[in-house]
Amino acid sequence: MTTVQTHTGTPTQADAPTGTDTHTDTDRDAELKALAEQAGRDLEDASALEILQWAVKTFGKQFCVTSSMEDAVVAHLASRANPGVDVVFLDTGYHFPETIGTRDAVEAVMDVNVITLTPRQSVAEQDAEYGPRLHDRDPDLCCALRKVAPLEQGLTKYRAWATGLRRDESPTRADTPVVGWDEKRRKVKISPIARWTQDDVDAYVSEHGVLTNPLLMDGYPSVGCAPCTRRVLEGEDARAGRWSGSAKTECGLHG
């Protein structure tokens, strides 16, 4: 497993994707955006595996999968399309032990290359600068420091990345394209299971014996950082346990 400590701030020239000048980079981005939008239309009815096979054929080593280790469904699918595929995991320093255990198990049993990204500061260093329990006082800033900035740095060498977003998870994800353009990061963003339901996920897990986070069977249908995740009560939405009691619904990784 590779562990990469990331930093915050504006990427340096060494961090930036190779390019000769601003005009060339702008042209490249326009081409990638057009490619993503066309693929989103063409692949809307394709299977998740076909979508990932297209991604591998199109981007090769400049394609990766990101995983929160809630389950390893997309990582498993991607390993079928491209054995040894890079699977990027954000270790925020606040994860449940079960989540770290799932990451370690995925690395041990699946044909993937797990890359763990860590924030610039440890939790203790962040507490010293911003005060303890920043996640309670300013969860958006905490997510920005421990999730968003590390991911942006970690994705620098890739032109396309895959996520496990599904349209049925929440209203904010209802329009997720199977292939789209990540305007913020200037990359192609692939959501191969966007059209899946929870039943589809469960069926795939059962058929292929895919690893899942043990917390999914312990009242946590959506697993995030431990301080900001609680068990969901009967009748609640699957993501009701994330940032409970606040208006926050997303960590910032997806818009």
Q: What is the largest CA-CA distance in the chain?
A: 56
Tell me if 203 sits within 8 A of 217, measured CB to CB: no
Tell me if 178 sits within 8 A of 54, measured CB to CB: no
Nearest to 180 by CA among 82, 26, 39, 31: 39
Q: Is 152 helix (H, G, I), strand (E, B) or coil?
A: helix
DSSP state of 116: E
Tell me if 64 sits within 8 A of 88, measured CB to CB: yes
**Residue 251 is a catalytic residue:** yes
> Which position among 64, 225, 228, 251 bears the catalytic label?
251
Tokens of 163: 């996520």
Tokens of 105: 């198990």
User: Which residues belong to the active site?
Assistant: 251
